Amino acid sequence: MRIHLRKKLLLACILTGIFVFKVTVFIYGNSQDEPQFITPPAILVSGGRSRVHAVKVEPAPSPERLSRGAVLAARALPSGQLPADEAVRPYLGLRSTWKNVTYSVGKFFIFSAYFDRRLDKKFVRIIATGRLRLPRTIRALQCVLHYSDGSKETVTAEHKVIRENWGLAYTARFVLCNTDRLPLRVSLVEKLNDPNPATVAVSDLDPSVERLGDFAVCVKPFHYQFNRAVWLVEFIEFHRLLGVNHFVFYNHTVGADVQRVLRFYESRGVATVIQWEMQLRSQKEIRTENMFAALNDCVYRSMYRYRYALLVDNCFFYLYWENDTAVAEQLQLSPAGERRFPYLITLFKTRRMREPFRFFSRSKYFVAPERAVEVGNHQVWQHVPGFKAMSVGEHYGLVHHYRICEMGGFECKKKPSVIDRTTHKYLRQLTGQVLTLCAAIFGDSCPEAPPLGSPW
């Protein structure tokens, strides 16, 4: 397989797909030692030969509309670009919500369904959640397939547990319904006379569908009332600078500021925002807001629409260490201006551990969606026959993960570290974009983020 490489790969807490990148944790800053960088053409996030659709450039807000502390920087920066209205694309995939299946074994839910014709037999693949272990004596669930000609077909459901579940009581799973025909909808029932069957529409995974772009980003569910709006704008704009076309967000709970950001980007066709309500207790009954159902749903949702999907953690709330002073120096900010300037972690946090984590430990990946069957947090668990993962050396790119140390606390600060200012290549562009977008979304400057709280 040949891959076109351009720009240095560098992500803010992110990943990449059937290609696996090592992770580097950024920990603390404030050093004048400048490392020597290898400058390879980057893999991914810029998207090889990324096709960037033409956009209408809107003028940046005048400095008077920005916070006073950002005026000097705004005058020195290029005008930002808002996503153009005419570039709006339809919501990626079908709108879905969790549906409760009446099942004597207890809680069981279905979210979305895809007609999958890639393997040795065709079937409807349902993204579902249920008990990790189903009693062997329990009555099997039945798939009722509804076709466009008004006919129905009933087949016995097959179950495939998604591997990463921490052994908790509930897990994400696939429910497979064998059929050679594309149905409009599928119902999942224990009893065929169920008066209110759980039903979801079926999306056709059609290889001939129009491709919308090169790169989509899949973000695991927002939770704990996530409200760091400026970091979310930074995250989106950084990836747009690198060539990402579309973002898929799963909203479990967010704060008011982040809600405004999500609505803005969705209205511009840059993001698909999926409501992610659960009736299970996160980390008690199900792993991390049922993130593996979301990640797999996003891969199937992106299939044939985007050349690659980047599967991404949301880790913009762990920072505790000293900031790099080079940002203020390059933008000639006064001490007062620096205090009011948007706190962009990709620019201010530049000290990282010298040695990256090993592959498949904390590594991240991007994937060609149609070549993956089941994905996890750090790797693809099952590929379509004939395909496999390829590890990418750190001389091509590193995933930068902004967080506390791996097992909590700050012990990793004792390990050898280096200053890595690769992100400063985008300093002026990124800052201009963030200031422009915050002005467009909030009418002024970026809102101040809430306190970080405890790292544990």
The DSSP element (H or E) to which 348 belongs, if any, is helix 345-348
* Residues 49 and 439 sit within 8 Å (Cβ to Cβ): no
Residues 6+ apart with CB under 8 A from 99: 109, 110, 111, 198, 199, 200
Could you report the per-residue pLDDT of 66-108, keeping only the tens digit for each? 333 333 333 334 445 666 544 455 678 888 999 999 999 889 9
Could you report the per-residue pLDDT of 241-272, keeping only the tens digit for each? 888 999 999 999 999 999 999 999 999 999 99
User: How much is the pLDDT for 73?
Assistant: 35
Domains of the chain, earliest start first: 1-92+212-456 (no CATH), 99-204 (2.60.40)
User: How much is the pLDDT for 45?
Assistant: 24
Q: Has this prediction a pTM greater than 0.85?
A: no
The CA angle 337-342-347, to the nearest 5 degrees, is 105
For the residues 283-307, what does the mean pLDDT come to?
95
Q: Answer whether residue 8 shows pLDDT above 70.
A: no
- Give the bridge partners for 171, in sequence order: 130
Q: Answer whether residue 350 shows pLDDT above 70.
A: yes
Cβ density class 80-113: b for 16+ within 10 Å, e for less: bbbbbeeeeeeebbeebebbebebeeebbbbbbb
For the residues 417-444, what does the mean pLDDT come to?
89
Residues 6+ apart with CB under 8 A from 264: 437, 440, 441
Position with higher pLDDT, 83 vs 190: 190
Which of the residue ranges 276-280, 355-359, 367-371 has the most confident prediction, judged by mean pLDDT?
A: 367-371
User: How much is the pLDDT for 28?
Assistant: 29
The overall average pLDDT reported for the chain is 78
Question: Strands (DSSP E) along 190-258, which ranges?
Answer: 198-204, 213-222, 246-251
* Weakest-pLDDT range from 23-37, 280-294, 406-420: 23-37
Q: Answer whether residue 171 shows pLDDT above 80.
A: yes
- For the chain, percent of residues with pLDDT exceeding 90: 48
User: How much is the pLDDT for 334?
Assistant: 72
Q: How far apart are CA 213 and CA 134, in angstroms?
A: 40
Q: Answer whether residue 366 shows pLDDT above 90.
A: no
User: How much is the pLDDT for 64?
Assistant: 31
User: How much is the pLDDT for 451?
Assistant: 66
Q: How far apart are CA 39 and CA 360, in angstroms?
A: 24
* Weakest-pLDDT range from 177-191, 202-216, 259-273, 388-402: 388-402
DSSP label at residue 43: P
For the residues 10-36, what does the mean pLDDT come to?
37
* Weakest-pLDDT range from 214-223, 369-378, 395-404: 395-404
46, two tokens: 């810029």
Amino acid letter, 313: D
For the residues 363-372, what does the mean pLDDT come to?
90
User: How much is the pLDDT for 408?
Assistant: 66
Amino acid letter, 133: R
Residues 6+ apart with CB under 8 A from 307: 47, 211, 213, 214, 215, 368
Question: Rounded to 10 degrees, what is the CA torsion of 417, 419, 423, 425?
Answer: -150
Q: How far apart are CA 89 and CA 78, in angstroms?
A: 27
Which of 11, 8, 45, 7 minimizes the C-alpha distance to 352?
11
User: How much is the pLDDT for 339?
Assistant: 66
Q: Answer whether residue 29 shows pLDDT above 80.
A: no
Which of 34, 131, 79, 63 minimizes the C-alpha distance to 325?
34
